[in-house]
Amino acid sequence: MKILLVEDDEFNALLLEKALKAYNYHIETAKDGQSGLELAKMFEYDLLLLDLMLPKIDGISLCRQLRLEGYHMPILMLTANDSISLRVTGMEAGADDYITKPIDLSELVARMKALQRRAKVILPTILSWENLSLDTNTRVVTYNGESLHLTPKEHSLLELFLRNPSRIFTRSALLDSIWLSSESPGEEAVTTQIKGLRQKLKAVGMTEDLIETLYGLGYRLRKDENATSRQDSKKQNKRRTLSSTEFSQKREAKAEVIVLVKKMWEEFKGSRLQEQLQLFEQVLAHLSSGNPDSYLLKLAHTEAHRLAGTLGCYGFHEGSKLARQIEALLQSLMSWQQYPVWQLERLEKLIISLQKILQQQPSQTASLATSKLSLPRLLIIDDDTILTERIKLDAAAWGLQVDVATDLTTAKSVLASYSPNVILLDLTFSNSQENGLKFLSEITQNNPKIPVVIFTASNQFRCRVEAARLGAHTFLHKTTPVDEVLSVVRKSLNQSAATHEAKIMVVDDDPIVLNHAKSLLLPLGFQVTTLQQPQHFWKELETFSPELLILDIEMPNFNGIELCQVVRTDSRWSYLPVLFLSVHSDAKIVRQVYAAGADDYLRKPIVEQELITRILNRLDRTQLRQKLEGSQIK
């Protein structure tokens, strides 16, 4: 995939470029909107990664300009600003998707793949069958280099069959596709045109009948056996050329990303970061003196926006939040004539807090290198190392961490040390003493909750029946594409988890929020119930018995703070984790929420990754507390 990245922050651009190259993408970069526009119009790209705040031409204007001039490549926007209005503006300008900084690489790659799947298919200009060729641009048809002179109807029929090689066309369907409604011919007209086409092809030397007649059904293009054979040969050759060296190179590239992140952080910390912090202090001094510099204020706002995205990429997520708060505060100050003392004090506190955080080490490796969630674990039991490495490389985009056992002895050792969330099992091994079906029986007896997906070269029906009898979740043949394999693994994981994962209750008077929360949490295996009318809260709470409660604040009849207080005064529910989801950012309201007994607080709109992380963390803490209490009772 050839990608154009338009990003003016050289550190972020280099980080993204290195990270995506580890996934074998070809990256070209532009540092401003004008250069990005010129490159996008000059060369063909499969995808455009576009930052919003760019010099010369901003990202939204660039996107709008490309769409107005008829360019259709998928556009994925990147920004540290998660404003809903900005997202809407970007989409209206023609963007296909939107991701906020700090960027998680697995999410970015998954979104890029999704955009490619949704991208408009470009129809080929040359259609062929054996030695027959049809150029859709010039309308020329040749066989072995000799031109055929076809009638418009014959040409249209031939093109229709070549574009739809597997489809069966009835005479009625061909009439609808080729003839105008005003012509009103009978079905015999189809027979006549096909007969004429066959005769002309035979006259130039075609011995095989191009169009196959299926009696009682219609017509279709006869299968090109030579082309199929060539295609299979190419696939086999491609499989043979895949080597472990290529996969080790990809692993080395990923390791290089991590090393690069650390090196770049040291460089960034010693140069540009200091300049940005000094700029914030300089602006604060000007504002405090009553002599504001509008240029400096605007520049500081731009740098705060950039810093919010950059710090997240380097693992300073708290620092990223503080930079966003500084950005928002500077944005509001830009429109004021006078600057209240409390706002200047708040800005000073934010700058000091940011400086303290940046004196620490990053909380984790950069977001581009690792995911923030505790990912489900997939155990692959297979001695085909090339194929397993290929699956392992693509698994990150599906939210999976992978372990590999190349024999059943190793697999038993792995299962003795921990329980994976899902298993991908081959049934045949180079060691003939190892029996995959027997091992499947052991897994389903000893670990019945772990779904097992069979992934094997054997396609015998007897093998399928035996695997199903022994409790296999799904049976896949080794010709199945890797993306499809991982999709099946993910589905089996979610279906299995749904029977024993935590129960979550969401209360909000906005049905859109409820549907969004449900669509986000259900695929992850949670049991979810939603409630729009707070007056039915207690009945639903008693009936559903949730393990975590998500509340909105402002609702009719009873607000979320009141519901939380009621929960905390009941002995049965006093320890139920409560997470608030609200548009409010006012410090007074946030204090009231925590005073009522809330465990966590998130602002709307829902940031999916953050919400899932908070939920998982809260459930983990609850389970830990329950274990501790159980041990104390014993």
| pLDDT tens figures, 556-571 | 889 999 999 999 888 7
Asked if 485 and 584 sit in the same domain, the reply is no
Mean model confidence pLDDT for the chain: 78
Is residue 179 assigned to a domain?
yes
Is residue 251 assigned to a domain?
no
pTM more than 0.85: no
Contact 467, 443 (CB under 8 A): no
CATH number at residue 530: 3.40.50.2300
Contact 548, 542 (CB under 8 A): no
| pLDDT above 90: residue 230 | no
Q: Provide the pLDDT for residue 229.
A: 53
Tokens of 274: 């200091």
**Mean pLDDT of the region 74-99:** 76
Asked if 329 and 414 sit in the same domain, the reply is no
Is residue 250 assigned to a domain?
no
Asked if 326 and 351 sit in the same domain, the reply is yes
Residue finishing a domain among 201, 223, 245: 223
Task: Choose the most confident range, by mean pLDDT, from 270-284, 353-367, 462-476, 549-563.
Answer: 549-563
Is residue 369 assigned to a domain?
no
Contact 277, 300 (CB under 8 A): no
Q: Provide the pLDDT for residue 114.
A: 72
- What are phi and psi for residue 5, nearest 5 degrees? -105, 120
**Mean pLDDT of the region 149-171:** 85
| CA–CA dist 3, 5 (Å, integer) | 6
Task: Choose the most confident range, by mean pLDDT, from 427-436, 487-496, 602-611.
Answer: 427-436
Asked if 330 and 396 sit in the same domain, the reply is no
Residue finishing a domain among 199, 223, 247: 223
pLDDT digits (tens, 9 = 90+) for 266-323: 777 777 788 888 898 888 888 888 777 888 888 888 888 778 767 766 667 778 788 8
Is residue 235 assigned to a domain?
no
Contact 424, 485 (CB under 8 A): yes
Q: Provide the pLDDT for residue 505.
A: 95
Q: Which range is least confidently modeled, 316-320, 348-352, 419-423?
A: 316-320
| pLDDT above 60: residue 204 | yes
| pLDDT above 60: residue 188 | yes
Using alpha carbons, select from 218, 313, 190 the residue that is nearest to residue 260.
313
Asked if 511 and 487 sit in the same domain, the reply is no
Q: Provide the pLDDT for residue 368.
A: 44
| pLDDT above 50: residue 436 | yes
| CA–CA dist 48, 478 (Å, integer) | 34
Asked if 533 and 612 sit in the same domain, the reply is yes
| pLDDT above 90: residue 239 | no
CATH number at residue 335: 1.20.120
| CA–CA dist 15, 241 (Å, integer) | 30
Rounded to a whole number of angstroms, the CA Rg of the chain reads: 31
Q: Is the peptide bond before 451 cis (omega within 30 degrees of 0)?
A: no
Write the DSSP symbol of residue 475: E
Asked if 69 and 11 sit in the same domain, the reply is yes
Residue finishing a domain among 497, 517, 552: 497
Asked if 396 and 455 sit in the same domain, the reply is yes
Is residue 247 assigned to a domain?
no
| pLDDT above 70: residue 496 | no
Tell me the pLDDT band of 6, cut-offs 50, 70 and 90: very high
Asked if 51 and 147 sit in the same domain, the reply is no
Asked if 200 and 285 sit in the same domain, the reply is no
**Mean pLDDT of the region 327-349:** 79
Tell me the pLDDT band of 531, cut-offs 50, 70 and 90: very high
The DSSP line for 482-535 is HHHHHHHHHHHHHHHHTTTSPEEEEE-S-HHHHHHHHHHHGGGT-EEEEES-GG
| CA–CA dist 488, 454 (Å, integer) | 11
Burial classification of residue 337, based on how many CB atoms lie within 10 Å of its CB (0-12 exposed, 13-18 middle, 19 or more buried): exposed
Tell me the pLDDT band of 530, cut-offs 50, 70 and 90: very high
Q: Provide the pLDDT for residue 117.
A: 61
Is residue 245 assigned to a domain?
no
Q: How many domains would you assign to the chain? A: 5
Asked if 10 and 62 sit in the same domain, the reply is yes
| CA–CA dist 3, 119 (Å, integer) | 14
Contact 63, 77 (CB under 8 A): yes
Asked if 200 and 295 sit in the same domain, the reply is no
Q: Which range is least confidently modeled, 69-73, 217-221, 378-382, 417-421?
A: 69-73
Percent over 70 (pLDDT), the chain: 80
Tokens of 611: 């919400």
Is residue 455 assigned to a domain?
yes
Which is higher by pLDDT, 103 or 613? 103
Helix (H) or strand (E) holding 195: helix 188-203
Domain enclosing residue 546, as ranges:
503-633
